[in-house]
A and B are shown apart, each in its own frame.
Chain A
């Protein structure tokens, strides 16, 4: 009996969760005339004109390309930089390690609104303003600390004996790190990359502050549609639906990792792993 109650609970939750999303999808297949003239639960005059507009417009296409480019760059930069640092935090104690770690995490808690204005000045003065690099670097503010945090947890899950054995076998540190260590923490790299992708993809304030034309992200194109076109709801809805697709694809790829991540947190005895799992899930 209780089992059934649970199932009903989760189904009800998911239905409520997807109602707004369904409404958006529904609207994206309607003409603007139908949207404004009546409320209907499915499109009576099914149309793809909104999607066609987006695919044919260089501004929209450019928006998607810019967004995906800086997300991709940021993910690579963040994970690459975070790997050695996470290794250091996991394996060694050094002067100021705890303070440094806390300081890194504190950047995760910095309101982006605080950084919007100085970032504008900074990237303008170094000549990166309105490039995808500006956004990719700006998002490092929270993604690098996040990647360090996640990777530290994964690396701590690998016994140190492996490092020592490799050293005895005559592996130099860089060779050991690339040939042996990276494959061992491949899952961790995947999860860290997933979270970097996610936070860079959903962020809007910094990415729109740092760009005007040449690197305008898709979310800025969307907000400008409001003021420019007034009430082009169908177009806005179609754009919204399209922005959900990359996230859905990525989450589908890591679904097993996520489930496994939950399971790894299952060992109350292992603090580090729990903290790691909690960190990941917490940021999810």
Chain B
């Protein structure tokens, strides 16, 4: 909207939000910054440590740095893998969603249901489902002769976490893509039918280009969410076996709340936050440029 009037009095309307978000975001962030440049001998006595924690963290040859680097790589691989599965699957599901009648509402509600299950419970569901003794999934896999044990075998643990994430979040991409598909006028399909276009070329030439914008948002949100994943793996594998599924958030919580290693945890928090923020900003820029190129 180009014709919005200028009025700095509008700031007054934003102040309540600003106060609350400052309290719950900036204030805690300052605590983190504070910890990240100090060291402690206990008993609440802190002394200046400069960029020591950061140097340590960003140096992959040190203990902490190696741990951080491997968690980061692990997390990036995880995000990429789930995106590569969820994106095509979500689009395929969206194409299958009925377009008319009562079935639309029912299908949408069912598809959205996993999104409203508390994340701990999502973890519990899959922890139980994947067990070899009492879970259908684990028992079935072992029954057909596949060695599967999500608490002892790293591959199984990874597979469980990935399948769980796909189960949990594909619905979101499907809902988004469905919204994009609904936006395509019937005339496009009619024209394609007259031209005798194949189903694939309809998808490739009509549907996919129209989905572009929603897909950028879907990728952004899925990437962020999977990059911050904590609760589900912490319930299912607890980051194990060993460090196999110890993603960034899991590792951070372990350091901050488990070992109460404030300096390292704070430095890691800041770097972690900056990485997410940078990626978010890149996506945001790409999105707005797509908007502008398309015009109003």
Interface string of B105-147 (1 = CB under 8 A from A): 1011111111111111100111011000111110100000000
A24-B27 contact given A94-B8, A277-B179, CB 8 Å threshold:
no
Among B46-54, B55-63, B272-280, the stretch in contact with A: B272-280
**Contact with A233, one of B21, B128, B235 (Cβ below 8 angstroms):** B128
Cα of A13 to Cα of B113 in the assembled complex, Å: 13
Among B76-84, B90-98, B150-158, the stretch in contact with A: B90-98
A92-B5 contact given A117-B256, A121-B31, A268-B183, CB 8 Å threshold:
yes
Q: Are A281 and B272 in contact (CB under 8 A)?
A: no
Question: Does B68 sit within 8 A of A, measured CB to CB?
Answer: no
Question: Mostly helix, strand, loop or mixed at chain B's interface?
Answer: helix
Q: What residues of chain A lie closer than 8 Å to B133, measured between beta carbons?
A: 36
Q: Are B118 and A243 in contact (CB under 8 A)?
A: yes
Q: Are A14 and B28 in contact (CB under 8 A)?
A: no
Cα of A201 to Cα of B269 in the assembled complex, Å: 24
A222 to chain B, nearest CB (A): 6
Among A1-9, A42-50, A51-59, A182-190, the stretch in contact with B: A1-9
B283 to chain A, nearest CB (A): 9
Q: Are B27 and A122 in contact (CB under 8 A)?
A: yes
Chain A minimum-CB-distance residue to B232: A204
Q: Are B21 and A281 in contact (CB under 8 A)?
A: no
Q: What residues of chain A lie closer than 8 Å to B21, measured between beta carbons?
A: 104, 107, 140-141, 144-145
Could you tell me how many residues of chain B have their Cβ less than 8 Å away from some Cβ of chain A? 102
Question: Does B43 sit within 8 A of A, measured CB to CB?
Answer: no
Question: Does A212 sit within 8 A of B, measured CB to CB?
Answer: no
**Contact with B257, one of A23, A116, A268 (Cβ below 8 angstroms):** A116
Tell me which residues from 33 to 82 in chain A have a Cβ below 8 Å from any Cβ of chain B: 35-36, 39, 77, 81-82
**Contact with A113, one of B29, B228, B235 (Cβ below 8 angstroms):** B228
Cα of A136 to Cα of B129 in the assembled complex, Å: 32
A50 to chain B, nearest CB (A): 13
Residues of A within 8 A of B (CB): 2, 6-7, 9-10, 13-14, 17-21, 23-24, 27, 35-36, 39, 77, 81-82, 84-85, 87-89, 91-95, 97, 100, 102, 104-122, 137-138, 140-141, 144-145, 148, 156, 198, 201-205, 209, 218-219, 222-223, 233, 236-237, 240, 243-244, 247-248, 250-252, 255-256, 258-259, 261-263, 265-269, 271-272, 274-275, 277-279, 281-284
Residues of B within 8 A of A (CB): 1, 4-11, 13-14, 16-18, 20-21, 23-25, 27-29, 31-32, 92-93, 95-98, 104-105, 107-121, 124-126, 128-129, 133-137, 139, 167, 171-172, 175-176, 178-180, 182-183, 199, 210, 213-214, 217-218, 220-221, 224, 227-228, 230-231, 235, 248-250, 252-253, 256-257, 262, 265-266, 269, 272-273, 276-277, 280-281, 284, 291, 296
